[in-house]
A and B are shown apart, each in its own frame.
Chain A
Amino acid sequence: MRIHPRYTQRLAVTILGGATLLTLAVLVFIIVFVLEKGLPVVNFRFLLTNAEDMGRSGGIFTTLIGTIVLPLLAIIVAAPLGISTAVYLTEYTLETKVTKIIRFGTDCLAGIPSIIFGLFGFIFFVTTLGLGWSILSGGLTLAFMILPTIIRTTEEAVKAVPKSYRQVSFSLGATRWQTVKRIILPNALPGILTGIMLGIGRSIGETAAVIFTAGSSLRLPTSIFDSTRTMAVHFYILAREGLSSENAYGTAATLIIAVLAINLTAYWMMGRFIAKRS
């Protein structure tokens, strides 16, 4: 049986459009569901008091600190490495076998699942280097994990700086490093910051890589050698052990708001960066 092309066209548009709407509906549902149940729990008291009785009551203060400190450490380590890798790849070499291998390694690293990062961090940082379950172990593991994100976004940002900027700089007698430092990096900065924000966003939501490296202590850490618990880990423990669904929803809502705020800021910066360039 042959159906007239006009009808297959209509059918296709309906099915494809329906699939797209379904995807968007799922996204909206997840965010609305978590916020609706969780927001009533979230207030200053919830954010600023410590968890009591394993999290059954009280707030999430120490996990908030853990959630700030771990990604921060990860960025401090990963950002310089990632940015200099990207600058080397785009400004200092041509496409060779070596750069192809580096790019391939970066892409592969991006696809490694977080449980593998967790296993690695546990055996390397926690056990072999003897750092124990600590902020340091967790932060370094996360740094490995977000390195590809930072390399890729920085590369895109550096490539987007027009060729003419470099030519003018070189013609005025600037060296390559002077050009990178004074012209390219400042112009690529919004794009680079986008990469950093995306890296922070990924670190905040991470559980599997963190729970085996930073541990899950609820005490306020006093140094980077102390164990800590992030909001994501806290939420996982609350939800899985059924300790308190109220506090679980509250933690989930805080987590979602943090992640959304960071990612939306990243997109906004990227949008401005692109608008300025074109």
Chain B
Amino acid sequence: MSLIGERGVRRILAVTAFSAISALLLIALFILNEGLPFIFRYGLHDFLLKSDWDPQAGKFGIYPMVAASLWVTFGAMVVGAPLGVAGAIFLSEFVPKSVMRVIKPTIELLAAIPSVVYGFIGVMVLAPLIRTQLGGPGLSLLAASIILGIMILPTVISISIDSIQAVPQSYREGSLALGATTWQTIHMVTVRAAKSGIIASIILGMGRAIGETMAVIMVAGNAVKIPHSALDSVRSLTANIALEMSYATGLHRQALFATGVILFVVIIILNSFAIVVLRKRVYKK
């Protein structure tokens, strides 16, 4: 170490400290560089709001995919957010600490299961069930919503638990001392105090749902059309990129990168919001 010296080490560490932010900027630079020129040429309005996706004919309106992504994400929220928040409240308020120490990592294991496996479960179990019970092709908006709803559970649960546990014990004691029941304390005091963290967890889950690709490709059916019912086959923005990237060239490929730009911007906005909300809570304490 005498070769480099104390100051040299500090300088090297200072440079490497910028690795993550440089990676982020590099990604932004290359995605924007590849996709933005297309958006300017084709026009943001036509690109986002026209529903004629026909790369061979030079038509690149991604509205059906935008609608599909929004509906799938909304569906995932309907399934995942209540389940996740309920689970988080139960685990942090009704379950002994020792049990919770086992269950929380177990639920986080859900996040470790590869997304292709979720997709596969959707194809083998969920889609046939929807087809026989509710009709339609089975591979559908509904199937994708349920699978994504399950996939965001670990994000929602673990961040919600953290923010519920960050509520000072004195709040609960104050409420209980006034004669409130445990449940009254939870929904009138604890959850209200932890509100911002819970909202952040749902937003982060939303970011995951919008960005998920492989599971959605496998279960959503991938038809390019505006969905009219939950049983329709749909294609999300992410699925569109992944399905056509392998053979796209020229303008078509630029259009796919432009789709990536839209996705990138939406996710950065969602995540920044969630990060700022979570930060604020940490600093207030």
Contact = CB atoms under 8 A, between A and B. Distances in A.
A116 B27 contact: yes
A82 B207 CA distance: 24
A263 B109 contact: yes
A33 interface: yes
Interface residues of A, number: 83
Interface in A77-100: 80-82, 84-85, 87-89, 92
Nearest to B260: A119
Interface in A4-36: 5-6, 8-9, 12-13, 15-17, 19-20, 22-24, 26-27, 30-31, 33-34
A181 interface: yes
Interface string A215-244: 000000000000000001001100110000
B211 A108 contact: no
B112 A259 contact: yes
B6 A117 contact: no
Interface in A242-267: 248, 252, 255-256, 259-260, 263-264, 267
Which secondary structure dominates chain A's binding surface? Answer: helix
Given A8-B183, A30-B121, A177-B1, A208 B12 contact: no
A207 B31 contact: no
A232 B214 CA distance: 10
Given A16-B90, A111-B204, A208-B213, A128 B83 contact: no
Given A15-B86, A89-B17, A256 B113 contact: yes
B13 A87 contact: yes
Nearest to B16: A84
A105 B24 contact: yes
Nearest to A16: B90
B123 interface: yes
A208 B242 contact: yes
B283 to A, nearest CB: 10
A107 interface: yes
Given A113-B213, A115-B263, 16 more contacts: A16-B90, A16-B94, A27-B109, A33-B124, A85-B20, A92-B14, A111-B204, A111-B270, A116-B31, A116-B211, A123-B31, A175-B6, A205-B114, A239-B116, A239-B123, A255-B117
Interface of B: 1, 6, 9-10, 12-14, 16-21, 23-27, 30-31, 34, 82-84, 86-87, 89-91, 94-95, 103, 105-107, 109-110, 112-121, 123-125, 150, 153, 157, 180-184, 186-187, 204, 207-208, 210-214, 217-218, 238, 241-242, 245-246, 256-257, 260, 263-264, 267-268, 270-272, 274-275
Closest 9 A-B residue pairs measured CB to CB? A113-B211, A205-B114, A105-B21, A19-B86, A16-B90, A111-B271, A88-B13, A88-B17, A84-B16
Interface of A: 5-6, 8-9, 12-13, 15-17, 19-20, 22-24, 26-27, 30-31, 33-34, 80-82, 84-85, 87-89, 92, 101-102, 104-109, 111-120, 122-124, 128, 144, 147-148, 151, 175-178, 181, 201-202, 204-208, 211-212, 232, 235-236, 239-240, 248, 252, 255-256, 259-260, 263-264, 267
